[in-house]
Amino acid sequence: MNEPGLLLEKLMRKGRDLLGVRFPVLGGAMTWLSTSPLVAAISEAGGFGVLAGGNMPPDLLAREIEATRRLTDKPFGLNLITIAPNFRRHLEQALEMRFPVIILAGGLPSKEAITRVKKAGSTLICFAPTVGIAHRLITMGADALIIEGHEAGGHIGPVATGVLAEQILPRTTEVPVFVAGGIGSGLSLAHFLLMGASGVQLGTCFAVAEESPAHPNFKKALIRAAAKDALPTSQFDPRLPVIPVRALVNEGVRDFNTLQLGLIAQLERGQLSRQEAAMKLEEFWIGGLRRAAVEGDVERGSVMAGQSVGLVKKVLPAAEILGDLLAEAEREIDRISRLCSG
């Protein structure tokens, strides 16, 4: 893979310096998929692989970290979900292992969690789905932000990627900001860098990488899908708040809707609490994603994907996905430079 040209290099420098990589392109942390083979492949190719903590048993997470370290000596990150039942144990592990880059997702992290990460000397990156949360996280001590838009796969925020970028990038210079959600080409990388981003994050494109452990049926489903096929779930009743999940529409999504209606009926009868109902919804997605991504049941499982799925055409090595992205960004930067120079 060729080194980027001078202008692209300049635009990427802030992100490169923070992450310690050649290219400030993060692999999205995908439960069941962002394990040691894929994470190491992204990092070996010059990007920044991110291990998905999810709700892994703590001993398995420790083994995954060590397995990734055996596969690469390049930097990689650890994504921890603040609302996961195992979050506190995951955080303890990460701090004990002096993990260099910790990414907190799944809601606004507590001040305590942020303070502990900072005191341990780790670089802290946090997700910001809105402008208000972005500014609050910077004040709380985040070293960098990932702004993730509505077009992303899996659990999604309320605001479109482009709007978030317009709101946050021009007014945020204190920390590096990475853009995520619906990104699948070097065109997006080039233009978000020109808007002030320090890099981008891709999930769906890497889900079909050769090194991804996803079942062949899962990869085929993504390759066949159009952007319009990846839709967010709906909320039927405000008493049962539902964080939207973007996935390919199938029987699994219909099963989720049926489950949601059943839980609302149980809430009305006082048979369970809102917290218990919300946990059952989350358990559905964890199990559904495993059924699709690991077992290959793409009809009844959850085929989570961002709208960038429309740009996924074939299975490629992670290095080739990253190389194509950077080459396209280079061509776009060159094109814009020529236009500006007359």
Determine the Cα–Cα distance for residues 298 and 207; give it in Å rounded to an integer: 14
Domain 6-213+312-340 has CATH 3.20.190.10: no
Q: Which pair of tokens denotes residue 198?
A: 């320090």
Determine the average pLDDT of the residues in 215-238: 95
Contact by Cβ (8 Å): 114, 105: no
**H-type helices in 79-178, by residue range?**
87-96, 111-119, 131-140, 161-168
pTM, rounded to two decimals: 0.94
pLDDT given for residue 205 in this prediction:
97
Determine the Cα–Cα distance for residues 134 and 147; give it in Å rounded to an integer: 8
The three-state secondary structure class of 63 is: helix
Phi, psi of 335 (to 5 degrees): -60, -45
Determine the average pLDDT of the residues in 5-30: 95
| The pLDDT of residue 2 is above 80 | no
- Confidence tier at 186 by pLDDT (50, 70, 90): very high
If you search the block for the tokens 């990156």, which residue do you land on?
A: 125
Domain boundaries, the chain: 6-213+312-340, 226-293
Mean pLDDT, the chain, whole residue set: 94
| The pLDDT of residue 1 is above 70 | no
- Confidence tier at 242 by pLDDT (50, 70, 90): confident
